[in-house]
Structure 1
Amino acid sequence: MPATLPVPIGFSLPDGWLPARPDGLDAEGVAFAAVHPRPDAGYAASITVDGGFPDAPPALAELADASVERLRGTAAQVEVADRREAGSADAPALVQRLSLSAVAGGSRRDLVQSQVYLLLKDVAAPLASAVIRLTLTATAAQHDAVLGEFQDFVRSVRPDTGTGAGT
């Protein structure tokens, strides 16, 4: 069963990407998933969305570290290829790119995962915040070809105030 996001968001999927069942992607806690229409060597690139309410004001780097450690529990090798802060003081974000080797679809694959962590502050309760994580997972060979589409997806993410179309 798909998870629920801590705050409603809206976004636009890149052209051609297909919504998928999050529980079919073996991704715990995922609220939304989509797959690329053209798999690479039998592996379809995916975009997933998950999130939560941290217990304390979160350090995005700590959340990113925890994600790396979770992946190390299931992948043969995980390396942080790049990590940088993004966003603004009002809407901080962190972007990281991971290289990993994991069994997917019954075969060992070299994958690349781009993760974007967005911190959404509650305007009614400034000390409260939610974190949304947007993730692109693709084969190493296909990652750079679909990265621009993922970046367009990230740019389309916005709070859903109930006045327009949501997810």
Structure 2
Amino acid sequence: MVTELPVRIEFALPDGWQAAPPDEVGAPEVAFVAVRPVTPRGGADGFVTNLTIAGEIRDPAVRMATIADESVHRVGNVAESVRVRDRADFGRGDAPGLTQLLDIGLHEGKSLVQCQVYLPIDDVHDQRTVLELVLTCTPDQFDDVVSDFRRFVETVRPAQARS
């Protein structure tokens, strides 16, 4: 069962990315998945580079760093190891966002890199939805796809009301 976001959003996928049904790619906990089946450096051991969108309503008093720590804990529950390589706040005012870069160690010496962006969206009912935008790839694919992910993140915004 696909998870729905608490807010409607709009976004654009960069060239070469394809939407995939979350249930069919083993990610039923997210609302949206896109994959990039072909990267210039190819896939390692059949891993397909992907980006996901998830989100939930959170108390505005909860700091983005707390939400990011929760994600590190979730990843750590399924990986051999997880290390926060970098973390940075962005934005201003009452709803700053946060990015973090994780190095994930898997079984048999395999590894992944995950770039996570936490983007708060306040709605007219004084609720805050925090979107979690995630790029997951192998370390050798990261330099090839991180610019696509940045372009994708820049397009994410609340959906415009339709008349």
TM over 0.5, shorter chain: yes
Aligned position for 2:74: 70
User: CA–CA distance in 2 between the matches of 1:160 and 1:96?
Assistant: 25
Summarize the Cα distance change of 1:137–1:120 in structure 2 as closer, same or farther, 3 Å threshold: same
Preserved CA contact (<8 Å) 2:86 2:101: yes
**Amino acid of the residue matched to residue 96 of structure 2?**
P
Q: Which ranges in structure 2 are unaligned for 5 or more consecutive residues?
A: none
One-letter amino acid matched to 1:142 = Q
Superposed displacement of residue 6, structure 1: 1.0
Distance 2:14 2:60 in 1: 34
Give the structure-1-normalised TM-score: 0.88
Aligned Cα root-mean-square deviation (Å): 1.8
Query: Of residues 35, 59, 63 in structure 2, which corresponds to 1:59?
Result: 63
Partner AA of 1:159 in structure 2: P
Contact in 2 for aligned 1:57/1:129 (Cα 8 Å):
no
The answer for the alignment partner of 1:121 in structure 2 is 122
Give the letter aligned to residue 79 of structure 1. Answer: R
Paired AA for residue 5 in structure 2: L
Which amino acid is the alignment partner of residue 119 of structure 1? P
Letter in 2 for 1:5: L
> What residue identity is the alignment partner of 2:160?
T
Alignment TM-score, normalising by the size of structure 2: 0.90
- 2:136 maps to 137
1:84-131 deviation per Cα after TM superposition (whole angstroms, max 9, x unaligned): 00122154210000000125xxx7521000000001112x344x2111
Q: Which moved more, 1:70-79 or 1:107-116?
A: 107-116
